[in-house]
Amino acid sequence: CLAYTWCGGFGIVRICHIGQLCFGMGIVEDSERRQGAMKGSLIVVGFFILGVLAGRSGGLPSWAMDSNISFVALCGLLLFVGLGIGMNPDMKNDIKSLNPRLALLPVATILGSWLGAMVAYIIMCSDVCPVLHHRQLTDCLAIDSGFAYYSLSSIFITEYRGAELGTIALLANIIREMTTLLLTPLIAKRFGPLAPISSGGATTMDTTLPIITQTVGQRYVALSIYHGFVTDFTVPFVVILWCSMAG
């Protein structure tokens, strides 16, 4: 039920993105697009809360609790992701215009995210902060491998590792996206123009692209889109990899 409602919320946001590509509605003020991105995140959170309340009510029909519903919703979500990527007419030219050295930025983002997850796991498993004694390192790596793609990663983690870890993944990746939306100017000033792109993870080709472009300049648009495309594509594979390695 939770997975179904997450897909519902993200489906609305993804349809809006596809609509902009189809009807040429991409020329919008940066501030308006940023507000729209934050509003989309709040919609997903709202659907999540709706799913929790519906599940707690106990009044759902049996078919709504069927695990096949999550699979159907996941397939629908992947369909919208594919449509969004396939209907972007500038994707091919943007990738061709990239500096070959900057093409490794998604790899740096992925490895850096995993390193951060490992450090956090070590700290939270220590005697000073014994929060994650009941969790494995692979659980933390699976959550971190969502790269701010909260809807898709949360569904996979829920299916493989349970609703508790799936909920943590949802919140962790929403926080990553919201942090990028709110703190990109500060991140770019302190760590350079590539830092907010890495921080945005898979969202740099859609929801966080406006604020990143506004902060670091138009010359990083192609890199942001490429970075978001690559990290977005890797999410299902690396999340399932870490989930399958958990004991």
pLDDT digits (tens, 9 = 90+) for 215-235: 888 788 888 888 998 999 999
User: How far is residue 215's CA from residue 30's CA, in Å, rounded to a whole number?
Assistant: 10
The string of pLDDT tens digits covering residues 142-155 is 999 999 888 788 88
Average pLDDT over residues 17-39: 48
Under 8 Å between Cβ of 94 and 222: yes
Average pLDDT over residues 31-50: 63
210: pLDDT strictly greater than 70: yes
> Among the listed ranges 23-32, 37-46, 81-90, 159-168, which one has the minimum average pLDDT value?
23-32
30: pLDDT strictly greater than 90: no
Question: What is the structure's pLDDT at 246?
Answer: 72
Question: What is the structure's pLDDT at 127?
Answer: 65
Average pLDDT over residues 59-68: 63
Top-confidence range, 36-50, 95-109, 201-215, 222-236: 222-236
How many Cα neighbours within 13 Å face the side chain of 183? 13
Distances (CA, A) of 42 to 114, 171, 177, 178, 237: 27, 12, 11, 10, 27
Average pLDDT over residues 99-126: 88
Residue among 223, 234, 237, 239 at smallest CA distance from 117: 239
Average pLDDT over residues 48-62: 71
**Taking the model in full, what pTM does it have?**
0.66
Question: What is the structure's pLDDT at 23?
Answer: 39
> Among the listed ranges 118-132, 154-168, 184-198, which one has the minimum average pLDDT value?
118-132
Question: What is the structure's pLDDT at 90?
Answer: 65
81: pLDDT strictly greater than 90: no
Average pLDDT over residues 51-58: 72
